[in-house]
Amino acid sequence: MLNVLRRRGGAEGEPPAAQDGSGARNGRRRALVLCVLALPLLIAFYAVVLWWSNPHTPGDELRVDQFTTALRQGRVNDATILESDNRIVGSYERGRYWIAYAAGRETLFSRLTSALEDAGVPTKVKQQPLKNLVGPVTLLLPALIIIDGFFILFLAVGRGGDGFTAFGRSRARQLQSGESKITFDDVADLEETKEELTEIRDYLSSPDRFLAMGATVPKGILLTGPPGCGKTLLARALAGDSNVPFFSISGSDFVEMFVGVGAARIRDLFRIAKAAAPSIVFIDELDAVGRGRTTQAVGGQDEREATLNQLLVEMDGFESGSGVVVVGATNRPDILDTALLRPGRFDRRITIDRPDVRGREAVLQVHARGKPLSPEVELAAVARRTAGFSGADLANVVNEAALLAARRSSPVIEPRHLFEAIERAMTGPERRSRVLSTEDRHRISFHEAGHAVASAALPGTDPIGKLSIVARGHAGGFTWWVPQGDQLSVTRSQLLDRIAAMLAGRAAEEIVTGEPSSGATSDIEAAVTLARRMVSEFGMSEAVGPFSIKPFTGLAGDGLATGYSERIAADMDREIQEIVRVGHARAVAILQAHRPSLDALAYTLMEAESLEGDVLDGLLLPVITKGEPARAGAGSLVPDGEGGNLSGAARGLLG
């Protein structure tokens, strides 16, 4: 059945759409040449008309008083009134003369004609019928010039020379077989997703074995996941491995300020895709056109909803066995319209998450192809230090390491280049030109040492991989946590420990200098965010209980609503404050109990600027063996997430 669709085309195998498109392009080119040739002719004709319409009379120009005086003295021989030029011409004793009068000044014209009649000068009226056409022509020619200019603009600049119809034409790009250099072999880790897409490719290429089982191809596949996890990469690989026409377009290409353009482009896209069936249509950033509808559409909202309605109709209007599959990609599936997600439109939803440690190692191997790696490089070690990184982050790390090696004239990429690239990806490049005062250097050293000591004493935190007081980005220093492995979930005690470690930098400043500084801003923001998610999302507060506190979107177009009462909001605020307060108190108690280790670590860091490896482990060993001092109770608190100083690993732990 689908093979019949493949054979549709011209006499030489060219699709009818391609033949029609070639003829249309030739016609547009001819129209463009004619318009370009017509423009200078119209401008020249307009200039000639303007020149000809101005009066050109020989002789002397007389003022009104000179003319009337000459009439009284009998020196005027004859007079001719030029009706269209608004002039009186004739001869007098010195030769030819002419005098102009305003068209709307009837009094002046009557005065001049009366003077001619009183003087007995022979007078005649000369009509100028051709000049009566000057007025309409001077209005018509500028309009024709402007219209011709617009035609040239749309024929030349419009997409593919489509001119005015270009607005309603689809902007999808058709990728021919072999045009995409990326195949499924270039995609690492996403085996299940590749299997799903490979099945679609196989069905469209050879549908017989599927049809024998009575199976039909899904009408739509939706790829969802965080940014940088490989959704568009998978689409490119599908295009590279497909033996059927592949159309690629972004959801924003359907959005236009003109009413009806988006719906017209949807219709044109599916018309082309059906003509080339079996085919695949890939819509990237689907949320740009598939956002949920509301009942209160204002302004451009009507146009966007009309575009979405047309997409719904096209996807649900496929004939059985049409062979057109829509692949959509978005990182915001929560805002898509429910009608778009139902079976029959997007039959399959494939979630692509950040890779685990084995997946990261496989991704690193793909991106390291063709790059001179040192034999000392262990990609498994790099994968362990990049927990929470997406595929795009890992590609950036490998590329940044290659740039660092080239900048430093190294023949190969060494481990130090990769680890520094990870730090640059998380916090930015080093700012060694930033000179710290003695006071700032002292305070930042104790701040970072406070994070390290608290993390070493608390069992729920990740080990410290590196401390530094070298400025990176906006941060004066940083603490690098290195997870031992990937975690799918975290416990209440682990989250509480991490909040205490976040606030330990501020606690160290208070213990040593007697007052906090603004350097703990990001730590406080991260701790409060973590505490808020703990109370509102994870249900880890005894006062609020297992209760989800999230804004929701009203179905009647009311926008975001709170979804909870003011009492719940007040309880949530109190619980967040209590979580942060208890975490800070724990951090102070830990640092006071390990003050000798805190001082030793801070002063060593002050001298060395960066600490890692055996030196750092040796300074933290006394803290690890003793652990956290006994405490009365932790309160009803729990955190999630990430801190301003947390590594990319911790950053991706809870999403």
Q: What pLDDT score was predicted for residue 8?
A: 41
Q: What pLDDT score was predicted for residue 144?
A: 83
Asked if residues 196 and 159 have their Cβ atoms less than 8 Å apart, the reply is no
Whether 504 shows a pLDDT value over 90: the answer reads yes
Q: What token pair was written down for 131?
A: 């000049």
Give the best-scoring range by mean pLDDT among 276-290, 302-316, 559-573. 276-290
Q: CA-to-CA distance for 33 and 123, rounded, in angstroms?
A: 53
pLDDT band at 10 (very low <50, low <70, confident <90, very high): very low
pLDDT band at 528 (very low <50, low <70, confident <90, very high): very high
Whether 171 shows a pLDDT value over 80: the answer reads no
- CA dihedral (333, 334, 335, 337) positive or negative: positive
Lowest mean pLDDT among 61-65, 115-119, 169-173, 361-365: 169-173
Give the 3-state secondary structure of residue 48: helix
- What distance lies between CA 88 and its chain's CA centroid? 71
Q: CA-to-CA distance for 107 and 535, rounded, in angstroms?
A: 92
Mean pLDDT (whole number) for 411-434 = 81
Burial state string for 253-292 with b = 16 or more CB within 10 A and e = fewer than 16: bbbbeeeebbbbbbbbbbebbbbbbbbbbbbbbbbbbbbb
Lowest mean pLDDT among 208-212, 365-369, 374-378, 387-391: 208-212
Whether 128 shows a pLDDT value over 60: the answer reads yes
Asked if residues 475 and 622 have their Cβ atoms less than 8 Å apart, the reply is no
Q: CA-to-CA distance for 199 and 194, rounded, in angstroms?
A: 8
Asked if residues 97 and 110 have their Cβ atoms less than 8 Å apart, the reply is no
Q: What pLDDT score was predicted for residue 13?
A: 43
Q: What token pair was written down for 292?
A: 């949920």
Non-local CB neighbours of 250 within 8 Å, separated by 6+ positions = 283, 284, 285, 288
Asked if residues 412 and 448 have their Cβ atoms less than 8 Å apart, the reply is no
Asked if residues 307 and 254 have their Cβ atoms less than 8 Å apart, the reply is yes
- What distance lies between CA 194 and its chain's CA centroid? 26
Q: What pLDDT score was predicted for residue 553?
A: 47
Non-local CB neighbours of 363 within 8 Å, separated by 6+ positions = 188, 189, 355, 391, 394, 395
Burial state string for 4-30 with b = 16 or more CB within 10 A and e = fewer than 16: ebeeeeeeeeeeebeeeeeeeeeebee
The residues annotated with a catalytic role in the active site are 448
Q: Taking all residues of the chain, what is their mean pLDDT, rounded to a whole number?
A: 77
Lowest mean pLDDT among 16-20, 291-295, 392-396: 16-20
Q: Considering only residues 570 and 129, tell me which one the structure prediction assigns the higher pLDDT.
A: 570
pLDDT band at 370 (very low <50, low <70, confident <90, very high): confident
Question: 140-147 — which CB contacts under 8 Å span 24+ positions?
Answer: 141/42, 141/45, 141/46, 141/49, 142/46, 144/42, 145/39, 145/42, 145/43, 145/46
Q: What token pair was written down for 375?
A: 């034999």
If you write DSSP's letter for every residue of 310-331 in order, what string do you get?
HHHHHHHTPPTT--EEEEEEES
Lowest mean pLDDT among 94-98, 339-343, 398-402, 479-483: 479-483
Residue ranges of domains in the chain, CATH in brackets: 25-167 (3.30.720.210), 170-351 (3.40.50.300), 357-427 (1.10.8.60), 438-651 (1.20.58.760)
Whether 639 shows a pLDDT value over 50: the answer reads no
pLDDT band at 588 (very low <50, low <70, confident <90, very high): very high
